[in-house]
Amino acid sequence: MGPLEGIRIVELSTWAVVPCACEIMGDWGADVIKIEHPVGGDPTRGWAGPGWLPASSPLGVGWLADNRSKRSIALDLSKEQGREIAYRLVEKADIFASNLQEPSLQKVHMDYERLKQVNPMIIYAHLTGYGRKGPKCDKPGFDYSAFWASSGIMSLIGEKDGPPAFQRPAMGDHMTTGYFTAGILAALRARDRLGIGQRVDISLMGTGLWIDSWQTQATLLTNEDAKRVSQKEMPNPLFNIYRAKDGRWFIFVMLFPDRFWPSFCRALDIARLEHDPGFETAEKRAENRKELISIIEEVIDTKTSEEWVPIFDKYDLVWGYVHTIKSALEDPQTEANQFVVEVEHPELGNIRVVNSPVFFSETPSSPKEPPPLLGQHTEEILLSVGYDWSQILHLKNEGVII
């Protein structure tokens, strides 16, 4: 039994942040009912990315990633009968979560003012691109535009003199998911303590500024923009990436370089540099970083990754592989910690999915069900809120459900 057993969530959302948050809470035991439009449903069902995913990927990998552990009801909210069904669901729910723009929510009468009349204790959780106020409050915002670009993070990614670099789809979305989920659960706790429902808001842009708060805090204090640093110019050469003879990349993360410098020199067989006046202190290594990085690159390139690993471990260096996605999935840590689990999909059979990353000792949880087919649970959900079969048939004939 997961820690959120007994909690019911109504989700009216698309794309990544809100679906992923509801998926996580579903993994943790909540009963998640996802409302989708009868025509097409969530667009991630058929979206394969702008050429960035492997050519052999089935369509809808984003759907598979973010929509397990929930039930799907296909419902046309533009019709009054559809809204009446939604209100019955909200009446029995603890949480309502959406990323529809405010005008769209008002158009289908699913805005906070309306739903708190239906259920005054509801936790109404809403995502925007840029926040509820300001000139962009009603503008659409996606991971790339609102999180990466508008927060300033994209300006810091990439080589020093190159263009800003793209990240992969939904990464900013999923970082936002964590804070969105935390906010929802905090509001749920406040409801338990104080007996109040409330609205919870988060934005992609605001989360991006928070995620990069070490950089944004520095700019707030100095009024100077943060700048990119090239791999060739890292101030601490013991905090950098290097490529081995077989092409695999390593990252060293030795945040206290003076402590590690002697063992680093012995590991790389460059003991002659340990007391070299140009490198013997962190300040000197920063001053002469281009020369030192070049030396380290040449040395690392003399052995394969398999040859280097036991040496790094012998000298207790802080290092890691710069994995590809495939090699990360093949890392023994992934299987040992159940970072990937298997679910049975009604069309695809047994598929492996990435597990939610939090584990509970006394209330263990895991993915309950695979991502649902469009409207897969419509009838059972309607029966559970008081509709009979004749009413369900009428709703189908009217195009309210499928």
Per-residue pLDDT reduced to its tens digit, 320-330? 999 999 999 99
pLDDT exceeds 90 at position 280? yes
The pLDDT assigned to 168 comes to: 86
> Look-up: residue for tokens 């006394």?
362
Handedness of CA 53, 345, 7, 42 (dihedral sign): positive
Same-domain status, 206 and 78: yes
The closest of 87, 21, 162, 151 to 386, measured between CA atoms, is 87
Is 223 domain-assigned?
Answer: no
| Statement: residue 215 has pLDDT above 90 | yes
- With a cut of 90, say whether residue 47 has pLDDT above it: no
Residues 239 and 319: beta-carbon distance below 8 Å: no
Query: Above 90 in pLDDT, residue 23?
Result: yes
- Report yes or no on 2 lying in a domain: no
Whole-number Cα distances in Å, 298 to 172, 242, 258, 269: 35, 9, 22, 12
- Same-domain check for residues 322 and 344: no
Do 176 and 62 fall within a single domain? yes
235 and 195 belong to one structural domain: no
Which range of residues forms the domain containing residue 273?
231-329
Query: Residue 193: pLDDT above 70?
Result: yes
> What are the backbone angles phi and psi of residue 343, rounded to the nearest 5°?
-130, 160
Q: Are residues 172 and 72 both part of a single domain?
A: yes
Residue that wins the pLDDT comparison between 320 and 56: 320
Residue 1 has pLDDT above 90, yes or no: no
CATH number of 131's domain: 3.40.50.10540
In a domain, 226, yes or no: no
**pLDDT > 90? residue 368:** no
Do 342 and 251 sit in the same domain of this protein?
no
The span from the CA of 2 to the CA of 62, in Å, is 24
> Structure tokens of 342?
């298997």
In the predicted model, what is the mean pLDDT of the chain?
A: 95
Q: How many separate helices (H) and strands (E) can be counted in the chain?
A: 16, 11
Three-state DSSP state, 96: strand
Q: What are phi and psi of 38, to 5 degrees?
A: -60, -25
Judge if 314 and 174 occupy the same domain.
no
- Burial class of residue 316, CB neighbours in 10 A (0-12, 13-18, 19+): exposed
The pLDDT, as a whole number, for residue 278 is 97
pLDDT confidence of 160, banded at 50, 70, 90? Answer: confident
For range 11-31, the mean pLDDT: 98
Q: Single out the residue in 291, 310, 329 at which a domain terminates.
A: 329
Report long-range pairs for 268-275 (Cβ below 8 Å, ≥24 apart).
268/296, 268/299, 268/300, 269/299, 270/295, 270/299
In a domain, 171, yes or no: yes
DSSP states of 71-87 as a string? EEEEB-TTSHHHHHHHH
Which of 281, 303, 329 terminates a domain? The answer is 329
Q: Is the pLDDT of residue 55 over 80?
A: no
Gyration radius from the chain CA atoms: 26
User: Residues 332-343: pLDDT tens digits?
Assistant: 999 999 999 999
Q: Is residue 356 part of a domain?
A: yes
Verify that 133 and 244 share a domain, yes or no: no
CATH (domain of 258) = 3.30.1540.10
What is the pLDDT confidence band of residue 46, given thresholds at 50, 70 and 90? confident
Q: What's the pLDDT score for residue 51?
A: 66
The whole-number pLDDT of residue 159 equals 86
Query: How many domains does the chain fold into?
Result: 2
- Does 225 fall in a domain? no
Out of 305, 329, 353, a domain closes at 329
Residue 50 has pLDDT above 80, yes or no: no
Together in a domain, 154 and 299:
no
Q: Please say if the pLDDT value at position 128 is more than 80.
A: yes
Angle 305-314/257-267 helices, nearest 10 degrees?
130
279: in domain: yes
**248 shares its domain with 266:** yes
Using pLDDT thresholds of 50, 70 and 90, give the confidence band for residue 57: low
Same-domain status, 82 and 99: yes
Same domain, 35 and 80: yes
Per-residue pLDDT for 58 more than 80? Answer: no
Give domain status of residue 221, yes or no.
no
